[in-house]
Amino acid sequence: MSEITIKIDGREYKTQEGEYILNAARANDVFIPAICYLTRCSPTLACRICLVEADGKQVYACNAKVKEGMEVTVSTPNILKERRAIMEVYDVNHPLQCGVCDKSGECELQNYTLEIGVDSQSYSIPDTKRENTNWSSVLHYDAGLCIVCERCTTVCKDMIGDAAIKTGARGGEKLSKEAKDSMPKDAYAMWNKLQKSIIVPSNGTEHTNCSDCGECTAVCPVGALVSRDFVYSSNAWELERVPATCAHCSSGCQIYYEKKHTSIANPDEKIYRVTNEWNFVSLCGAGRFGYDFQNDVEGKDVEAFEQAINAFKKADTIKFNSAITNEEAFMLQLLKEKLGVKLINHDAKAFKDFLDSYSKASGSSLYGSDFREVMKSDFVISVGASLRNDNPNARYAFNNVQKMNKGAGLYFHPVGDMLVPTFGKSVEVFNHKVGQEEAVLYLILDLFGDKDKLPVQTKDYLASFHKTVKKTIKEKVMESVTSTVVDKETGESKEVTKKVPKMVDKEVEVDENGLVSILGGSDNFAETFEKMMKKKENFSLIIGEDLYFHPRARNLSRLVALIEDVCDMNLVMIPPRTNSLGVAMICNLDEEESGYIVGYNEHGHFRLGARGFSKLDIPALNQQEGTFVTMNKVVVPTNPALEYKGYELNDILNEFDIGLDETIDFTPKLARFDGFKDIEFDDLPNGYTNTGKENRGYIIDNISVEKQAVSVVEFNDSIVLEGEIAYRCNPQRQFNDFTDKSHQINEEFALYVSPSKAQTLEEEVEVEFDKDTTLKLKVVVDDRIDGDIVLVPDFKSHQNIYSIFGKDRYKTVTIKKG
């Protein structure tokens, strides 16, 4: 894309080619009113208020692209008339009780009514009774306030991918003929549509079947969509916004904690809601609703602190997980150096091993791309990630590529998913067997790889799967048919030759790809793939957690490196937990735990934790400052929203004389590790610019490392699992103990199964992993799962699920009656 110059109201501005006028104006700080448009989503054209004049023609700024030398006029007398009429129509029958509305003070309808100066009303129509409904456990829809701008439906379809809501019939009265004649054209068209529609769940019931991400409540310009918990609990202007980073998964989304005092009687601060820059970042349900996980402690528990010091003195192992900041990880590493203890972290260890092996094969320390690049691509492949559960942002990216870039997608996963195929017409799903991940990567090499760059051995190996077979296909041929026609008027008979299509059987030689059938692909995959590849230029590959927890992870990592090398793809990996990437870069992790274990937010002989059931309390991630490394390889800061009165890890370090004054004093010291920079915490920005450019923290540079000559080995079926299989995977919105603690997230610790599988199971079952390890779990049906594999969550650390699964993510189990 090249830079071009356009003129808005006579002034010259620079912008990118192919950009919409509205976005170009916004990026240059020029105000064009717009209600229904969402950046990163397709234009809805519901509000029509962004009407501008471009090169003498009236166009919608959200829908018209800029051209070199284009002259845009934001307001002409006619456009002003239209805008005024549109705003008047929006105010028709809109309740005037702004005082009780939750949106009051940050309402776009209020703002635009004032901006456009609507001080009188010229239109009217009888109102229709519209009921308040609760769509789900978190969504509250007040239809009376809705202006049907369709931002909610647009974001749900284009960004989230659920398409759980749509416009339905309102049952409103028809507009009069006089209105049509007397009103400005666009205002009439907008009103006509508004008067007919209302938002309803798209499954035809009263309740939405969605991932409860609450993004619809974030984008709603009025008070129609508010989370059930927040309704009437606080006015927008009373809340203090604390910019932070979501602590739940490796996306590290930028969020604002919004807080004020709990009540008149209780002056302690409380988080009331989480908001986001919805034009540039989309949250999931965990990020939006999982905010009240703070660790409330009365004060410093001196006795427990002494016990903790003693525990550290006699510790052999410190066990922790990756829901910690870089600073905490650094402090644990310092403790290891000082005390000679082992550091055990299951998720980060597997990821670190995979990364290390990958970088040896590829010659660079980290994967080459990030999710912002994935969003720009037009062909995206996901391997080894349960997209819906592992990382919501990876799923949004996958979906967004289908919707916005006319993209295509390949989804490889053993667990069937009902949602992913609905993302787009060109999404092909492979539900391969567990253990065939190597074959998947070989297939990707075969489909996208530049064969000349491949090592000869691999090239031959791939060729060995190809067979030329004779196949009978039906082909359309044009056949000439000659018939005699008698002309009615003249009576002459004439011979007419027509071409008529006819289907004939034809035997052709087809190249059959053995890998496709091994992976359970459809028979006509070759044709489908050909269609998918049309006009595609930019390819992305998402690698998920299944590959890190795999018996042949090393070979997989080499294959991934090889794919990145020969396929010209954006490669991204999803770190398993919040800060797995940061921990992997900072800590020197050990293999096996032994002796006396101090658990840091984990199971152990002595436990420190932010969940309340530990011996010594430590601050939760919304109570401390620090940094995370996101999956986009960015070091982002997070700020404390709530006060914490107890001890923190730095106090323990001070007892061993290796601590600093403040936890954030460790931030610049991170530069000791490759990739990190010597930048003070307070100098790290955390926001977005008008263009949507992420201005947060700093990017970790990809460092080239010594490339070692490694070769990939062939796959074999010896590791393929058969029978009853359990998959370590959290339900949507649950990631760790902290999401579990949040009162609005109620997905329980249970066995998640597909509807068909549930019919063969009791309500409660015992899952036997081996003779000594069994788990008693309730069976919960997730109707978006397909197939027989059952999902065992790992979000409760005291259940020690990582230890049960060990170095795999799949296990064969026996499921017994509970």
> What residue ranges bind another protein (CB under 8 A)?
97-100, 104, 119-127, 132, 231-235, 237-238, 263-265
111 or 133: whose CB is closer to another protein? 133
Report the nearest approach of another protein to the CB of residue 228 (Å): 8
Q: How far apart are CA 92 and CA 96, in angstroms?
A: 10
42 or 234: whose CB is closer to another protein? 234
C-alpha pair distances (Å), 540 with each of 379, 415, 441: 6, 21, 13
32 or 147: whose CB is closer to another protein? 147
Q: How far apart are CA 554 and CA 541, in angstroms?
A: 18
User: DSSP of 535-590, one letter per residue?
Assistant: T---EEEEE-GGGTSSTTHHHHHHHHHHHHHHH-EEEEE--SSTTHHHHHHH----
Report the nearest approach of another protein to the CB of residue 94 (Å): 11
Tokens of 190: 């907008």
Residue type for 433, please? K
Q: How far apart are CA 9 and CA 3, in angstroms?
A: 19
Report the nearest approach of another protein to the CB of residue 184 (Å): 17
Report the nearest approach of another protein to the CB of residue 238 (Å): 7
96 or 496: whose CB is closer to another protein? 96
Tokens of 271: 């988080």
Name residue 799's beta-bridge partners: none
C-alpha 363: how far from chain center:
29
Judged on CB neighbours under 10 Å (0-12, 13-18, 19+), 745 is buried
121 or 517: whose CB is closer to another protein? 121
List the Cα angle 648/649/651 in 5-degree steps.
Answer: 75
Q: Are strands 539-543 and 569-573 parallel, antiparallel or unpaired?
A: parallel
238 or 674: whose CB is closer to another protein? 238
Q: How far apart are CA 686 and CA 638, in angstroms?
A: 8
Residue type for 732, please? Q
Report the nearest approach of another protein to the CB of residue 196 (Å): 17
User: DSSP of 263-315, one letter per residue?
Assistant: -SS--SEEEEEEE--TTT----HHHHH---------S--HHHHHHHHHHHHH-
Report the nearest approach of another protein to the CB of residue 235 (Å): 5
121 or 708: whose CB is closer to another protein? 121
Report the nearest approach of another protein to the CB of residue 157 (Å): 29
233 or 594: whose CB is closer to another protein? 233
Report the nearest approach of another protein to the CB of residue 263 (Å): 5
Is residue 413 within 8 Å of residue 385, measured between CB atoms? yes
Report the nearest approach of another protein to the CB of residue 623 (Å): 24
104 or 774: whose CB is closer to another protein? 104
C-alpha pair distances (Å), 65 with each of 7, 12, 400: 13, 16, 20
Query: Which secondary structure element, helix H or strand E, spans residue 737, and what is its range?
Result: helix 737-741
118 or 160: whose CB is closer to another protein? 118
Q: How far apart are CA 696 and CA 691, in angstroms?
A: 14
131 or 507: whose CB is closer to another protein? 131
Report the nearest approach of another protein to the CB of residue 237 (Å): 6
Report the nearest approach of another protein to the CB of residue 99 (Å): 3
**How many CB atoms lie under 10 A from the CB of residue 84?**
16
Q: How far apart are CA 762 and CA 290, in angstroms?
A: 31
Report the nearest approach of another protein to the CB of residue 135 (Å): 15
Q: How far apart are CA 775 and CA 750, in angstroms?
A: 10
233 or 654: whose CB is closer to another protein? 233
C-alpha pair distances (Å), 771 with each of 726, 728, 791, 811, 814: 16, 19, 20, 14, 10
Match 């299509």 to its residue by tokens.
501
Q: How far apart are CA 193 and CA 764, in angstroms?
A: 50
Report the nearest approach of another protein to the CB of residue 145 (Å): 12
Helix, strand, or coil here: 425?
coil
Residue type for 464, please? S
Name residue 474's beta-bridge partners: 505
125 or 510: whose CB is closer to another protein? 125
Is residue 520 within 8 Å of residue 360, measured between CB atoms? no
Nearest to 287 by CA among 238, 253, 261, 329: 253
124 or 480: whose CB is closer to another protein? 124
Report the nearest approach of another protein to the CB of residue 124 (Å): 4
Q: How far apart are CA 658 and CA 437, in angstroms?
A: 44
Report the nearest approach of another protein to the CB of residue 645 (Å): 24
Q: How far apart are CA 202 and CA 153, in angstroms?
A: 10
Q: How far apart are CA 206 and CA 203, in angstroms?
A: 8
Match 């999982």 to its residue by tokens.
290
Report the nearest approach of another protein to the CB of residue 227 (Å): 11
Nearest to 608 by CA among 324, 327, 813: 324
Name residue 485's beta-bridge partners: 494
238 or 523: whose CB is closer to another protein? 238
264 or 302: whose CB is closer to another protein? 264
Q: What is the dihedral of CA 435, 440, 446, 451, to 10 degrees?
A: -70
Report the nearest approach of another protein to the CB of residue 229 (Å): 9
109 or 163: whose CB is closer to another protein? 109
Q: How far apart are CA 142 and CA 135, in angstroms?
A: 10
5 or 132: whose CB is closer to another protein? 132
Considering only CA atoms, give the Rg of the chain: 30
Report the nearest approach of another protein to the CB of residue 175 (Å): 11
